[in-house]
Amino acid sequence: MIPAPFAYHAPQSLREALRLLRAHEGEARVVAGGMSLIPAMKLRLAQPEHLVDIGGLSELSGVRRTDDGGVAVGACVTYRRLETSRSARAAAPLLAETVAQVGDLQVRNRGTLGGSAAHADPAADAPAALLALDAALRATGGARPRVIPAARFFLDAYETALAPTEILTEILIPKQPPRTGAAYLKFANKASRFAIVGVAAALTLDRRGVCSRARVAVTGAGPRPVRASATERWLTGRQPSQTAIGEAAARASRGMEFIEDVHGSEEYREHLTRVITRRALEEAARRAGA
């Protein structure tokens, strides 16, 4: 449980952090709270030669409301701060609800939203909420700053669209439409509290109670978080009755790739995906006023 030797850097600004990444391109990793990367280093699953610590950068630690009524979250904002932030809870209650289920209080006091997204652990909770909320992730350090939709950010297990010299700086959550209800539910590993399967669902109903917009994202089941597009298409244009939700949930596993490990087989995760999707949809519909 001892990491390989590495050089530690504590930059005083984002500009300095980016300079260090460029100077040690391909040999450096960024760390903020360290709740994911440090354990991987102790197990020598990750062996960076240089560690660039951005956890103390105040410019990445803010939560602010955006002009469109959404919320922008700095990459180094901790889960605990999001869990208790009035701005975050008002603009994105699904995100606050999701991060409140991460690990334990000690983990939430140190772990960061940006760290979770950039690490891209297949069983992490937050990425499912980011997908369901149509979030975008701001990155800097490449040829020019860019904003990456969450749907194109998570590429594979522990792999994202970030380039080696880029740093994730901010997560942008747009304002959710009126009459939107959302929920995050998971079947968790009892020891780590990672999701064996977790589902974030957000439903928007029109004045007749018909679903005009559906977002359903699944984490833990496969190598990366994904949208359950077949479920979303089925529900859109229908009232979220028990029958309709059951039919929609039955489609949740379509087109998905499932993983198998000591915690569950592919078949087990496929079954859980349908079960947890139904429960999340029922709660989201209730909160939307169905």
Residue 259: both structure tokens together? 């993983």
Q: Mean pLDDT over all residues of the chain?
A: 95
User: What pTM does this model have?
Assistant: 0.95
Q: What percent of the chain has pLDDT over 90?
A: 96
Q: Assign residue 141 a region (left: φ > 0; alpha: ψ between -120 and 50; beta: otherwise).
A: left
- Contact criterion met (CB below 8 Å) for 260 and 271: no
- Contact criterion met (CB below 8 Å) for 53 and 11: yes
Given a cut of 80, whether residue 290 has pLDDT beyond it is no
In order of start, what are the domains of the chain with their CATH numbers?
A: 7-53 (3.30.43.10), 58-173 (3.30.465.10), 180-288 (3.30.390.50)
Work out the average pLDDT over 224-238: 97
pLDDT digits (tens, 9 = 90+) for 59-106: 999 999 999 899 999 999 999 999 999 989 999 999 999 999 999 899
